[in-house]
Amino acid sequence: MADIAQDATSLIGERSSLKDYLWKDGLFAAATWFLAAAISRFLPDVVVWGDTQAFALLTAIGGTIFLVLAVVVPRLPESTRTLVHYGPWFIAIGIWFSIWELTTAKLGWLPKPFFSPPQGLLHVYLTDWERLLICVAYTGRLWILGFASGVATGFAAGVALGWSKRFAYWGMPVLKLIGPVPASAWIPCTFFIFPSTFHASIFLVALASGIPVAILTAAGVGQVNRSFYDVARTLGANNRYLIFKVAIPASLPNVFVGLFMGLYYSFAVLVVAEMLGAKYGLGWYLQFNTAYSAYANVYAALVVMALICAGLVKLLFIVRERLLGWQKGII
């Protein structure tokens, strides 16, 4: 029994020492990325695609990076925890690249032009990057103007709805009436009301982002504990102080929920808004390439939009953590 216990102890010690010297997920990620590179490089294409060798080179470089990280990460400080946390995702991406490459370029199970292999998207980024950057800039301008104006209007309206019973009496039924209607349903009206399609597009984005902000801000202000107001009034606070120092800070969790919803809704409407006669923009790019069955360009633009939206969501999370740090442990 003593020998068995000693062998088990030594085995556990070897495993722990192996974990101390190698990042297992990084090693598996390197293997999957090298597999994707080998499939792309050595298996013949059913249909010839551009930049196949470039994709094989990039995945091989990625596999090399993960192989190095598998050795380096255990020796790095605790700041690498984020990298370790996403280890399974790096493995899944390598597997996804391999399956994607096999089912499209190598076996042809997902035929051209409806489906594109990864090197098809890479070819778009390498050859059409200038137009994509211009479209991103135009989309960014439209989204910033629409989202900012919608959030500002929705926040102000939400505070008024939550604070004033008279304003809520007239405003809340109107908000409930137009809220469920998709922003794209207002396109016929926008053509008549606004002088240009650009202003109409700004209105659609603002409408999609402003309504959830208004509704949730009103709910947040209306749910503030009345004892907060009583204490502030006892100390001599006026209505202005109660609104800006009590009601708004206490309702910020609801406001940020509305911001997240408005962000997603604004991106959903953005594509439709840029189809109203726009000359550039990611929505225009999608429509233009769909008309010519250039689906690789369509998928490439969708990936760009998804990455931009994910980055903005991450940024919003950071802002929320900064502003609501004082409420940790309370909400």
Q: Residue ranges of the domains in the chain? A: 2-123, 129-324
Question: Would you give per-residue pLDDT tens digits along the chain (331 residues)?
Answer: 445 445 544 544 444 555 667 889 999 999 999 999 999 999 998 877 778 899 999 999 999 999 999 988 887 776 566 788 889 999 999 999 999 999 999 998 988 888 899 999 999 999 999 999 999 999 999 999 999 999 999 999 999 998 888 888 888 888 888 888 887 788 878 877 887 888 888 899 999 999 999 999 999 888 888 887 778 788 787 888 888 888 888 888 899 999 999 999 998 888 888 877 677 888 889 888 888 888 999 999 999 999 999 999 999 999 988 888 766 655 4
The separation between CA 27 and the C-alpha centre of its own chain, rounded to angstroms, equals 28
Q: What was the pLDDT predicted at 157?
A: 93
Instruction: At 46, list the tokens.
Output: 């059913």
Close Cβ partners of 257 (under 8 Å, ≥ 6 residues apart): 216
DSSP assigned state of 44:
P
Q: Which residue matches tokens 């206490």?
A: 250
Q: What was the pLDDT predicted at 11?
A: 46
Q: What was the pLDDT predicted at 277?
A: 67
Angstrom distance (rounded) from CA 285 to CA 295: 11
Instruction: At 318, list the tokens.
Output: 């950071």
DSSP assigned state of 194:
S
Contacts of range 95-103, beta carbons closer than 8 Å, 24 or more positions apart = 95/32, 97/32, 97/33, 97/36, 97/59, 98/32, 98/35, 98/36, 98/39, 101/36, 101/39, 101/40, 102/39, 102/43
Q: Class of 129-324 per CATH? A: mainly alpha
